[in-house]
């Protein structure tokens, strides 16, 4: 069984409010995150605006807090230890931090602090003239060839996310991203410019590396209770997470390969823990035969506890 945790883009105002109201263990997680970053993030999650929540420094710890609230409820209220059930844990981009937290490699408080720094540093790294876009309907090799043709030393573009079969995200200078989209348009595919605060998972994030490295160095990492499938290596890892998380800033998120690797290890069930169903949707296209479950609401919690 594989447990996965969502990345940025899944956030929505009000996420987790049903479990916050229902369970003290969920409230404890949200309050612990508030205290660790000295900011009432829970109030923003439940009562703020979408514009505030989508800011990278808010969205990242907010999504982690929501996922970990589900993890804590399963453990405290239903007696379900996901690490006892899982063979592997994985997360998409920032979700890898949540996976490490769920695997008890890092504490909730430390994870929130690092993600707050990560979000701020990523937003500041390249605030202007950067862009990300999703290309839907082209295979990875074709997108790689187009990116190669559009890459210039002074205006870079690269593949940021290999998300699923026929879903690739590019990142870089806005002009270069536009060139890729123009060339890809001849294939009559769907393209979406993403509403993000920077060209994430590209070389343009290098300015964020030092600040995030310092935050990670101050964080106490332990060996996770279950192996984590790394976004960078697309296979299970049990150490060197600080190095892998830094590489993730400027490197490709190899999500499609990660899920295929899990399938090659005879994993037949995958559970997404956290708000939304983004990862379930991607995994369905990667491995159609894998059984998929989403824990994203009060009702789904109760259903999974009976599973």
As a whole number of angstroms, the distance between CA 130 and CA 71 comes to 35
**What are the helix (H) ranges across the chain?**
17-22, 24-37, 41-47, 50-54, 56-78, 82-85, 95-102, 108-125, 140-150, 174-184, 206-217, 241-250, 255-264, 278-286, 298-305
3-state secondary structure (DSSP) of residue 255: helix
3-state secondary structure (DSSP) of residue 15: coil
As a whole number of angstroms, the distance between CA 209 and CA 206 comes to 5
Q: Which of 164, 201, 230, 258 is catalytic?
A: 201
Question: What is the 8-class DSSP label of residue 215?
Answer: H
Q: Is 93 a catalytic residue?
A: yes
As a whole number of angstroms, the distance between CA 278 and CA 99 comes to 16
As a whole number of angstroms, the distance between CA 108 and CA 169 comes to 29
Q: Is 201 a catalytic residue?
A: yes
- Overall residue count recorded for the chain in this entry: 307
As a whole number of angstroms, the distance between CA 171 and CA 152 comes to 13
Q: How many CB atoms lie within 10 A of CB 128?
A: 6
As a whole number of angstroms, the distance between CA 54 and CA 44 comes to 11
Q: Which of 10, 67, 93, 258 is catalytic?
A: 93
Q: Tokens 């907010």 — which residue?
A: 62
Q: Which residues are catalytic?
A: 93, 201
């Amino acid at each position: 069984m594989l447990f996965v945790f969502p990345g940025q883009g899944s956030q929505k105002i009000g996420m987790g409010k049903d479990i916050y109201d229902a369970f003290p263990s969920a409230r404890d997680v949200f309050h612990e995150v508030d205290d660790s970053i000295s900011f009432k993030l829970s109030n923003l999650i439940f009562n703020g605006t979408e514009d505030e929540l989508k800011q990278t420094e808010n969205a990242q710890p907010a999504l982690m807090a929501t996922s970990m609230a589900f993890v804590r409820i399963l453990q405290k209220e239903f007696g379900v230890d996901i690490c006892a059930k899982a063979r592997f844990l994985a997360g998409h981009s920032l979700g890898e931090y949540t996976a490490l937290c769920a695997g008890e490699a890092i504490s909730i408080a430390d994870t929130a602090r690092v993600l707050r720094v990560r979000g701020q540093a990523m937003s500041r790294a390249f605030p202007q003239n950067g862009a990300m876009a999703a290309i839907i309907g082209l295979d990875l090799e074709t997108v790689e060839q187009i990116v190669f043709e559009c890459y210039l030393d002074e205006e870079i573009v690269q593949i940021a996310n290999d998300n699923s079969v026929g879903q690739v995200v590019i990142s870089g200078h806005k002009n270069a991203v536009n060139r890729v989209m123009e060339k890809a348009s001849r294939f009559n595919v769907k393209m979406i410019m993403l509403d993000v605060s920077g060209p994430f998972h590209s070389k343009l994030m290098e300015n964020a590396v030092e600040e995030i490295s310092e935050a990670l160095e101050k964080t106490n990492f332990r060996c996770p209770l279950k192996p984590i499938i790394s976004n960078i290596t697309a296979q299970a890892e049990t150490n060197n997470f600080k190095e892998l998380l830094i590489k993730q800033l400027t490197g490709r998120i190899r999500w499609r390969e990660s899920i295929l690797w899990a399938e090659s290890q005879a994993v037949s069930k995958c559970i997404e823990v956290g708000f939304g169903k983004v990862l379930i949707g991607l995994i369905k296209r990667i491995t159609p035969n894998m059984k998929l479950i989403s824990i994203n609401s009060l009702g789904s919690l109760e259903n999974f506890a009976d599973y």
